[in-house]
Structure 1
Amino acid sequence: MDEASLPWQVGAVFRPVRTGNAFEETVERILQAIKLGVVGHGDRLPAERELATLLGVSRETLREALRSLQQAGYVEARRGRYGGTFVTYRLPAPDVGELRRAAEDLGSELEDALAYRLVLETGAAELAARRELTAEQRGYLTQRLAEADAASPEEYRQCDSRFHLAIGELTGSRSLAASIAEARMRLNDLLNAIPMLERNIDHASRQHGAMARAILDGDHLAARQATEEHLEATAALLRAFLG
């Protein structure tokens, strides 16, 4: 991913730091972008000056955060003309044992997180369908859908995440896009741990297609319904594996 492809996603994850501990929140913001797949393995983060501006932190704070992430194995710095900070983290392989451990960590908050995500994303899909999207925005959603459809099982979760975050971006609301990213992050370990079954991927791809078509057609009711069906299916699959 080059930097030219980043602007649509930066509003959701690379947003200004708000708390008193700029270092910790800067690490959190970058980790969120990596774990949600906005920047995946081998991708380059935005240039230091740009990223510091997006996060609203000093370059010294950003460098300290990047050093910490490098020591933890999430990124690496490369020198030279095509240098920069590159992501080295890979999403873990799906694992039912990890799925159950992640569910235990959430405990009673699991159903709350699923309900919150449902309300946010159905509303976002409806709002995106109500807007007059530009040709660039329409092309962006179509591109994210195509990437998810063409993804290998190993790449699917990253592309799935990018597709859902893209709909949040198309609402035009930075607050809503950020909330969708945060809601996704609460469930991220669970979603990543669900085994990748070909039948389920095909089903999800058809649902993604219905969501995208409804948004592009400006059919806000169909967009909400398709999104609700997709999220309910994902929640049902999650509950089935938790058994």
Structure 2
Amino acid sequence: MTEPLREVHKAVYRPVREGNALEDTVARLVQTIRLGVVAPGESLPPERELATLYAVSRDTVREAIKELADTGYLVRRRGRYGGTFVADPLPRPAEPIVVDAIELDDVLGLRRVLEAGAAHAAAGRTLPPEVREELWARFEAAGSAGPDEYRRADTLLHLTIAELSGIPSLVALAAENRARVNAWLDTFPLLPRNIEHSNAQHEQIVTAILAGRADAAAAAVLDHLAGSEALLRGFLA
């Protein structure tokens, strides 16, 4: 990779469908926020650039931004240092979310296939030194993140592994899937002991990838996902 999460940026900033331009633009911006591609307090690309990336009019971009500003996800600022910024903190749902069991099974089942497959593929590749260092840095960032930053650091680690698979279409699917999972995870609090356990599992995943142990990397991912899956089913189902 020539820059961090290059394929993830391509996935979230790709052209939207013509028939549902506004809705798809809103959804793509939400995905960008949920994945932490733009962190709370950071600015989105300028409207003109977003319009080009999404292949829509600037009016559509403005309307999508207004929708998300009205719901508290974005903040617009004027002046020399103005622009559109991700809200900090992000709004949380006023009421608990109940997710249909069929939808939950579908999203979590796809996550297992995508993320275990990505780790297996990444471990089977010869990774250059700078990429290996980036992966380890993502692991360390998740391990040292505080409660407010942990979800984003965890997501970026998982998406980095997806990029290391070398399969761009898998990255796009993983990003979309992860955004849906994060929307659910954000509805309940982080559990300190669960974070500690997750970080230990992250180390198993990353070391297996760096050692080229494909089967061990995939197995470690499935072990890791089982923990968050149990929490999701407990809180949502």
Query: Normalization by structure 1: what TM-score?
Result: 0.83
Give the number of equivalent residue pairs: 235
SS of corresponding position for 2:75:
strand
Shift of 1:135: 3.6
Q: Who is 1:113 aligned against?
A: 107
For the residues of structure 1 that align with 2:62 and 2:127, how far apart are their CA atoms? 37
For the residues of structure 1 that align with 2:75 and 2:189, how far apart are their CA atoms? 29
After the TM superposition, which residues 72-111 of structure 1 pair with which residues of structure 2 at under 5 Å, given as runs? 72-91=71-90, 101-102=96-97, 104-111=98-105
Change (3 A) 1:212 1:51: farther
Q: Who is 1:65 aligned against?
A: 64
CA RMSD of aligned residues (A): 2.6
SS of corresponding position for 1:77:
strand
Q: Deviations over 1:23-70 (max 9, x none)?
A: 221111011111222212111212334433332333343233223322
Query: Normalization by structure 2: what TM-score?
Result: 0.85
For the residues of structure 1 that align with 2:210 and 2:19, how far apart are their CA atoms? 41
Percent of aligned positions with the same letter in both sequences?
Answer: 50
For the residues of structure 2 that align with 1:165 and 1:210, how far apart are their CA atoms? 16
Q: Are 1:133 and 2:132 an aligned pair? A: no
1:204 alignment partner, one of 186, 195, 198:
198
SS of corresponding position for 2:85:
strand
Write the letter of the residue equivalent to 1:53: T
Alignment check: 8 A CA contact 2:5 2:159 kept: no
Q: Who is 1:144 aligned against?
A: 138
Alignment check: 8 A CA contact 1:11 1:169 kept: no
Residue segments in structure 1 that go unaligned for 5+ positions in a row: none
Change (3 A) 1:230 1:52: same
Shift of 1:208: 1.0
Q: Who is 1:122 aligned against?
A: 116
For the residues of structure 1 that align with 2:11 and 2:134, how far apart are their CA atoms? 15
Write the letter of the residue equivalent to 1:207: Q
Q: Who is 2:227 aligned against?
A: 233
